[in-house]
Structure 1
């Protein structure tokens, strides 16, 4: 039987890139330890299966050494220290979103759409309060409107809808495409933005807590106002090595919780837990955002902030784990690809400008019946 000579390091590279446990892979590929040790080689069929299992391009296994993959967009993350190499999941999500953006931009050009004036309309010299106000005005995003929402999770849905109405595709997903076996890791990234005046796109890691997702969206919108494509963790950290990240964090915090109104809402000597509950109802944002603002205005010192922040983060994660339920597939798919993108793509496909094959690929679906039902969910008489 013909064996394919593959450098042992490539098997290790593919396993680490896929973030897959060695024991799990070895159970599926019993000869993997021998491959990684260079003691034996796989057949072509075995190699094809291994490449598919690790989401690695087959051709890479014929290289003399593991490739040095680079992110296709600027990296502004602060959580990446100590993490292994770039994951296949992150790279595949970025490439997928770039494909969607390219398609949408071409469609916008065909229809003669004009560039969105807010993309790149701010600079790092723009005060955070001013930039936040510009975003607030463009989106119609206000504390009063959010206060009418029954929960801050509903306020997040309103926030996304307002961003999409302004022209931004907002994609929220915790998996690669619709593959529920490929979960995205919030420790690797929380979101990214692909800046473009005709087809701006924000991706939010849906595997992250709902508490973090609102801040991520606000943070990525700040990047968009700078006209800056970026991958970020959007963490509400005290400092950042990047001036751009620091500025975007400040704008996001001001957008969600205006400092002047926040100061007026604080009550002297109120217990922290009671204050968080009351202010969360008032501003309809997560308690993590509120804790950050308490630090900003001096209501909490640094030690008190970090202690409260870590405790609250743990509480929210535990709460999220207890509320992991299924949902409607079609509504979930729309959220994953953005309603704006889905509506435009379905319309283009039904009108014959886009091949069904290409539409299926960008939506992550395989059956015409699924496409038709998705169209009906979006209001199309398919």
Structure 2
């Protein structure tokens, strides 16, 4: 006997919207959806289970009388047209929850191993001049303009910045998908990153589906949130002039860290040509879009000129990215996975497991793997004996 179940149409619509499906995807992945919504037929229990799995919806939610409220567990600083983004996707929610679980584990690990509070967490307020905080960050990371000259290209600058942030005690996770699920790509248009502030285990997540140039700005932007001691989901849009005061403050800090105005004023050759943007971007290991923002911050361009130039430069940058086949999300698993997990976090989990303090099953869940061979491969890659 086929068991069919009643589901409120608004819950079916909510699940599809939450999953980020468009009309074409809905028709392809749930062919009976329209009939269910119109109550022309009811889904079988098996069909509903498959629908819940495909939309990444907790199965029990589909039996509620109305869609549940799923607020983000951290402050939402994003704006679209200066209005808050109201409904987070399932991909975003699952990413935040996963990072919170990993942070909870690492906090206990750090405490058990005698770690104390990190002094820079919460050391600033919105009244602290961004230039002062930028100087503190650059000094704390050993990431000043001269120190950056050792990196051969912008990709290495990003890698070096991540290592330096982790060296001061912050977990940095850069991932373009949900966990290890390559079928669930994160959307940079929804969010670029977030910060989970904590005195023992601060964590930064950067959307790895974004361009590497944008990731560099997001990394420092989220670090500024940590300096404030505040968790936040961020848009980290360097061209934004509106929105939350905290976001604008963090943007100012990030811009000053990446290209101090004093350096720019002495180095700028007077014309914001493509060649000049490229020259400065190469010298400072940053995006030409950051260079353009600093040129207007220094007063060398008007806001009107900047808006027009930013659009043109953004399109040029995106065309270059497309010609290089995007952000390059593939590669060797054992070289990319530590970046997704945070090297500091992954080393801690592996070491704790080998010492017998963490069960292998829990370690596999934390590291997003199911095989012991993968665990051993990560241990070898990270040189954890």
Q: TM-score, with normalisation over the residues of structure 2?
A: 0.95
What is the CA deviation profile of residues 339-372 of structure 1, one whole-angstrom value per residue up to 9, with x for unaligned ones?
A: 1101101111111111222222122211111111
What is the DSSP-based 3-state SS (H/G/I as helix, E as strand, rest coil) of the residue aligned with 1:180?
strand
Counterpart of 1:275 in structure 2 is 276
Structure 2 counterparts to residues 185-264 of structure 1, below 5 A: 185-264=187-266
Structure-2 change in CA distance of 1:329 and 1:250 (3 Å): same
Tell me whether 316-325 or 235-244 shows the greater mean CA deviation: 316-325
* Displacement after TM superposition at 1:82 (Å): 9.0
- Contact map agreement 2:79 2:85 (CA 8 A) in 1: no
- Contact map agreement 1:6 1:62 (CA 8 A) in 2: yes
The partner residue of 1:145 within 140, 144, 147 is 147
Tell me whether 188-197 or 317-326 shows the greater mean CA deviation: 317-326
Counterparts of 1:303 and 1:34 in 2: how far apart (Å)?
51
Unaligned runs of 5+ in 2: none
Counterparts of 2:275 and 2:243 in 1: how far apart (Å)?
34
Structure 2 counterparts to residues 87-102 of structure 1, below 5 A: 87-102=89-104
Counterpart of 1:374 in structure 2 is 378
Q: Are 1:344 and 2:342 an aligned pair? A: no
* Displacement after TM superposition at 1:322 (Å): 3.1
Structure 2 counterparts to residues 280-299 of structure 1, below 5 A: 280-299=281-300
* Displacement after TM superposition at 1:296 (Å): 0.2
Counterpart of 1:50 in structure 2 is 51
Tell me whether 23-32 or 61-70 shows the greater mean CA deviation: 23-32
Structure-2 change in CA distance of 1:84 and 1:133 (3 Å): closer
* Displacement after TM superposition at 1:238 (Å): 4.1
Q: Are 1:78 and 2:82 an aligned pair? A: no
Counterparts of 1:306 and 1:12 in 2: how far apart (Å)?
38
The partner residue of 2:127 within 125, 143, 154 is 125
Counterpart of 1:360 in structure 2 is 364
Counterpart of 1:5 in structure 2 is 6
- Contact map agreement 1:15 1:22 (CA 8 A) in 2: no
- Contact map agreement 1:174 1:207 (CA 8 A) in 2: yes
Q: Are 1:60 and 2:61 an aligned pair? A: yes
Q: Are 1:314 and 2:315 an aligned pair? A: yes
What is the DSSP-based 3-state SS (H/G/I as helix, E as strand, rest coil) of the residue aligned with 1:143?
coil
Counterparts of 1:288 and 1:23 in 2: how far apart (Å)?
35
What is the CA deviation profile of residues 65-113 of structure 1, one whole-angstrom value per residue up to 9, with x for unaligned ones?
A: 1112111100111238596831000000000000000000000111110
What is the CA deviation profile of residues 150-187 of structure 1, one whole-angstrom value per residue up to 9, with x for unaligned ones?
A: 11221111111100001111100110011111010111
- Contact map agreement 2:76 2:84 (CA 8 A) in 1: no
Instruction: Please tell me the root mean square deviation across aligned C-alpha atoms, in Å.
Output: 1.5
Counterparts of 1:174 and 1:311 in 2: how far apart (Å)?
26
Structure-2 change in CA distance of 1:24 and 1:271 (3 Å): closer
Counterparts of 2:84 and 2:43 in 1: how far apart (Å)?
32
Counterparts of 2:380 and 2:272 in 1: how far apart (Å)?
50
Structure-2 change in CA distance of 1:294 and 1:271 (3 Å): closer
Counterpart of 1:162 in structure 2 is 164
* Displacement after TM superposition at 1:271 (Å): 5.0
Work out the number of aligned pairs and report it: 380
Counterparts of 1:210 and 1:317 in 2: how far apart (Å)?
11
* Displacement after TM superposition at 1:320 (Å): 2.1
Counterparts of 1:11 and 1:56 in 2: how far apart (Å)?
10
Tell me whether 344-353 or 51-60 shows the greater mean CA deviation: 344-353
What is the DSSP-based 3-state SS (H/G/I as helix, E as strand, rest coil) of the residue aligned with 2:146?
helix
What is the DSSP-based 3-state SS (H/G/I as helix, E as strand, rest coil) of the residue aligned with 2:205?
strand
Q: TM-score, with normalisation over the residues of structure 1?
A: 0.96
Unaligned runs of 5+ in 1: none
What is the DSSP-based 3-state SS (H/G/I as helix, E as strand, rest coil) of the residue aligned with 1:172?
strand
Structure-2 change in CA distance of 1:332 and 1:31 (3 Å): same
